[in-house]
Amino acid sequence: MATSHLISIEEYLSSDYEPDVDYVDGHIEERNAGETDHSKLQGELYFLLRLSAEKWHLLALPEARVQVAPTRFRVPDVCVVREEDADNPIITQAPLLCLEVLSPGQSLPAIRKRARDFFNMGVPEVWVFDPPTKTVYVCLPQSMREHKDGVLRLDGTPLELSLAEVFKALKRKA
């Protein structure tokens, strides 16, 4: 849900939102913080990516603010960046990858809208995880497809993510 009144970038950046929110052209857009399965899946994605990313001088960051345009900030559930691109408090260089976990009530078209901001910034792919169906969608600037292979790979990097490992988190008790 967006705010009805405009706020400045300075006000957004100096405010503490819990959970963090997106800033789109002067409006605050609340993010779906999710329920237990969202949290478990987001945590597992961060953990698994962090384990492999370190070997290649990449960082996996949960809920980092990404300035996708001069007046737009998005907060992906997890993003992967080069170590040198994380020297500032806000990510301003295009991440290599953004990951989103669908929350109850959140739609794929809403995620595509968020993904467009990432693509416009230069992010090559957005991976979208749907906890109830254990489905993954790979979003590219011109398409979105369901990923059917058991391993997600990010072209141009050695990053791999086993879907069996990712979705194992949903079988664990909270």
Domain contains 148:
yes
Rounded Cα distance, 18 and 147, in Å = 32
CATH code (residue 145): 3.90.1570.10
Domain contains 128:
yes
Amino acid (1-letter code) at residue 112: R
pTM (2 decimals)? 0.91
Residue range 81-110, pLDDT digits in tens: 998 888 889 999 999 999 999 988 888 888
Identify the domain containing residue 101 by its residue range. Answer: 35-171
Domain contains 117:
yes
Rounded Cα distance, 159 and 151, in Å = 10
pLDDT at 174 over 50: no
Domain contains 16:
no
Rounded Cα distance, 129 and 99, in Å = 8
Domain contains 131:
yes
Q: Collect all residues with Cβ–Cβ distance below 8 Å to 39 and sequence separation of at least 6.
A: none
Domain contains 114:
yes
Top pLDDT among 77 and 159 is at 77
Domain contains 15:
no
Top pLDDT among 33 and 95 is at 95
Closest C-alpha among 17, 74, 75, 15 to residue 42: 75
Rounded Cα distance, 96 and 90, in Å = 15
Q: Collect all residues with Cβ–Cβ distance below 8 Å to 31 and sequence separation of at least 6.
A: 19, 20, 21, 22, 75
Residue range 39-75, pLDDT digits in tens: 999 999 999 998 888 788 889 999 999 999 999 999 9
Q: What are 81's two structure tokens?
A: 């960046």
Total structural domains within the chain: 1
Q: What are 35's two structure tokens?
A: 């329920």
Domain contains 6:
no
**Residue 172 has what pLDDT?**
60
User: In degrees rounded to 5, what are phi and psi of residue 153?
Assistant: -130, 145
